[in-house]
Structure 1
Amino acid sequence: MGRPETTLSRFILEEEERAPRREPEFPALMAEAALAAKAISREIRRAALTGKLGFSGEANPSGEAQKKLDLAANEIVLDAFGKTGLVAAVISEEMEKDHSPERGGEARYLLCIDPLDGSSNTDVNGPVGTIFGFYRRKKAGPCANALGEIRAGADLVAAGYVMYGPSTILVYSRGLGVNGFTLDHGFGGFLLTHPDLRCPRQGKYYSANLGNYPRWEASVRRFVDHLTGTAAGAKGSYSLRYVGALVADVHRNLLEGGIFFYPGDDRNRNGKLRLLYECAPLAFLIQQAGGLATTGRERILDVRPESPHQKVPLAIGSPHEVELYEKFVRTGGA
């Protein structure tokens, strides 16, 4: 456990002093991210009391029905960064096109964000999250095409997630390791509770939507059979843990080891997870903690984005399981 008096802001300032490459605006970027997280946490806690549960009647750019809380969380993010001049554009799961905030023309960063991951869990009081990544721009100036300024996940300066569960925890990486902070509602801020997080080399859990099993490629089905012991010669020592919120499943596997995977299937060749604001930020963070993230055929951080809401297959977590997943996908698992 970290010292209770170690606040997020203090930690970031001290970390920045040690950084081999300074990012002067980073403390301010994270201050706004933390502010948005606190506001979203409050909206979620009060949603049943304020009439914000249920569907909004709208759909996001991927065609998924939007919850009222999806839209509320998106507005909170836009408000937090709207007039700071810190980001030149925001690419969000909830918006068809990127949004250019006021005073952002000279900003050196782009924000890609899923404001409320796993929002289908909100009506049943299940865990949900926020995923974010700050990408470095090629140059300052008006941002006419945010996507065109991102070459791959390697352009990430920092990434993180917030999980809203029994407590609200913010986990982030600036490229100098991974640390977690828990929101103390009485204090009104995030305190260091999970310093220097490391993903175990091998775990005992796997996270996947097995309802899609019949539609997966044979190689992925064989991988599952290997984990569960239904394949010949397999020990089957793994247990299924699937929450239905990407953040929650990745967070558990970061702490306890294991693998989350969402492959393509015969209906969705590239799966359903978005590269810029889900897969790449989590891949950046997990790799900083010693884990791995892949499509099955290439590193997530090497995938070049072709559209703001591009989808890619994802396997992420402990090195042993992710490497095994890659082996099955590449060889057919025979």
Structure 2
Amino acid sequence: MKRLIPTLKGDKVELELLMLVRTILAGCKEIAFRVSQGALGDVLGSTLDENIQGEQQKKLDVIANQLLKSMLLSDENVRSIASEEEDSVVPGAADGRFIVAFDPLDGSSNIDINGQIGTIFTVFAARPELAADDPEQFKQTGRKQLAAGYVLYGPSTMLMLNTGGATRCFTLDRTHGGFLLTNEAVSIPKQTAEFSINMANSRFWFEPTTKYIAELLQGEVGPRNKRFNMRWNAAMVGDIHRVLSRGGIFLYPKDNRDADKPAKLRLLYEAMPMAMLIEGAGGSAYAESSAILDIEPDSLHQRVPVIMGSADEVAHAVSFY
């Protein structure tokens, strides 16, 4: 097994970026320990507060955000950070070379049932002409990501990481405390018979989504002439990990539940980093008709519809839009 450091050096990733990724992973290892303790660690349940998204915060949301925030702000190479749990940009070192955005704990509804949850992160080069607290720092397309990944806290703690080439998978060795390379080139099959979507929202979908999912549900007697199975984890990290592991398509489309929030997932904290991982594994990632990695954020907490996974199936789904 290869450790994380030689693997990144082999890709000629600069040392500063390597050390920044290690800082993020140090925070994730601490979160993994807290998750593993469950009720023994007093991390279950909700707080009385809401985050900037208007969502009630879980105790572990707050803990994970504070851990990553503290560790990143102590890194002299971090100029700015943006978190799904923070109202605005948090400045770091004035001359830091990198900016980091993260969702400290994706899948919060799964915390209290011991379900899949994870941390999602992305790293960009800082824009030296802008102040550290300027949100314009983060108005960069996903093609400019230097690194993106997630850590999945499951039966084993796993890291999916992309630094510009192939998407790679690492597993946390709890004996020695390091992430070891377990798949050096993740590959998503182009075709699939598995889809992931929240069917509870079906009455709110717009026509293209309704038609596409109806086609899948017809199975062998429909136009696709094959049976499709549905899987849903209620945590993007879990659903995307399954897609990266064995193929599939994941959708979180626009709907008409709330005119002010037609889309659910955040571009910067969720869609962009996941799109980099998916494309690095040979898949496709779209916000309906636009490639996610080509979208430049217009705000820190911008939301977008998401369709990503096996390339042929994504192309077919996108054709409905």
1:162 aligns with 2:151: yes
Deviation at 1:316, TM superposition (A): 0.8
C-alpha separation between the residues in 1 aligned to 2:9 and 2:44?
A: 37
Read off the aligned partner of 1:74 and give its amino acid letter: N
| CA displacement, residues 150-185 of structure 1 (integer Å, 9 cap, x when unaligned) | 222122111001101110001100011111110111
Deviation at 1:235, TM superposition (A): 2.4
Kept in 2, the 8 Å contact 1:110–1:146? The answer is no
> Where does residue 294 of structure 2 map in the other structure?
302
1:116 aligns with 2:105: yes
Kept in 1, the 8 Å contact 2:103–2:269? The answer is yes
> Where does residue 308 of structure 2 map in the other structure?
316
Kept in 2, the 8 Å contact 1:200–1:255? The answer is no
> Where does residue 267 of structure 1 map in the other structure?
257
> Where does residue 257 of structure 1 map in the other structure?
247
Kept in 1, the 8 Å contact 2:266–2:304? The answer is yes
C-alpha separation between the residues in 2 aligned to 1:275 and 1:236?
A: 33
> Where does residue 332 of structure 1 map in the other structure?
none
Read off the aligned partner of 2:10 and give its amino acid letter: E
Q: Could you say what secondary structure the match of 1:172 adopts?
A: strand
1:7 aligns with 2:3: yes
Q: Could you say what secondary structure the match of 1:175 adopts?
A: coil
Identity of aligned residues (%): 36
Superposed counterparts of 1:28-43, under 5 Å: 28-43=19-34
Aligned length: 318
Q: Could you say what secondary structure the match of 1:328 adopts?
A: coil
* RMSD of aligned alpha carbons: 1.5
**Structure 2 spans left out of the alignment, 5+ residues:** none
Q: Could you say what secondary structure the match of 2:239 adopts?
A: helix
> Where does residue 235 of structure 2 map in the other structure?
245
Q: 2:126 aligns with which of 137, 142, 146?
A: 137
Q: Could you say what secondary structure the match of 2:68 adopts?
A: helix
Kept in 2, the 8 Å contact 1:113–1:130? The answer is yes
C-alpha separation between the residues in 1 aligned to 2:41 and 2:47?
A: 14
TM-score (norm 2): 0.95
Deviation at 1:32, TM superposition (A): 0.6
Kept in 1, the 8 Å contact 2:120–2:149? The answer is yes
C-alpha separation between the residues in 1 aligned to 2:180 and 2:224?
A: 43
C-alpha separation between the residues in 2 aligned to 1:224 and 1:76?
A: 40
Q: Could you say what secondary structure the match of 1:114 adopts?
A: strand
1:325 aligns with 2:317: yes
C-alpha separation between the residues in 1 aligned to 2:138 and 2:153?
A: 31
Q: 2:212 aligns with which of 192, 203, 223?
A: 223
1:272/1:149 Cα in 2 relative to 1: closer, same or farther (>3 Å)?
A: closer
Kept in 2, the 8 Å contact 1:111–1:134? The answer is yes
Deviation at 1:301, TM superposition (A): 1.1
Read off the aligned partner of 2:249 and give its amino acid letter: I
Deviation at 1:149, TM superposition (A): 4.6
C-alpha separation between the residues in 1 aligned to 2:54 and 2:3?
A: 39
> Where does residue 178 of structure 2 map in the other structure?
189
1:57/1:126 Cα in 2 relative to 1: closer, same or farther (>3 Å)?
A: same
> Where does residue 96 of structure 2 map in the other structure?
107
> Where does residue 280 of structure 2 map in the other structure?
288
C-alpha separation between the residues in 2 aligned to 1:171 and 1:234?
A: 32
Deviation at 1:40, TM superposition (A): 0.7
Deviation at 1:60, TM superposition (A): 1.1
Q: Could you say what secondary structure the match of 1:135 adopts?
A: strand
| CA displacement, residues 237-263 of structure 1 (integer Å, 9 cap, x when unaligned) | 210010001011001011111100000
Deviating more after overlay: 114-123 vs 132-141: 132-141
Deviation at 1:229, TM superposition (A): 1.3
Kept in 1, the 8 Å contact 2:166–2:184? The answer is no
Deviation at 1:33, TM superposition (A): 1.5
> Where does residue 209 of structure 1 map in the other structure?
198
Deviation at 1:14, TM superposition (A): 2.1
Kept in 2, the 8 Å contact 1:275–1:312? The answer is yes
Read off the aligned partner of 1:258 and give its amino acid letter: G
1:221/1:108 Cα in 2 relative to 1: closer, same or farther (>3 Å)?
A: same
Deviation at 1:312, TM superposition (A): 0.4
C-alpha separation between the residues in 2 aligned to 1:121 and 1:140?
A: 41
Deviation at 1:313, TM superposition (A): 0.3
Kept in 1, the 8 Å contact 2:20–2:75? The answer is no
C-alpha separation between the residues in 1 aligned to 2:289 and 2:298?
A: 17
Q: 1:26 aligns with which of 12, 17, 20?
A: 17
Kept in 1, the 8 Å contact 2:252–2:305? The answer is yes
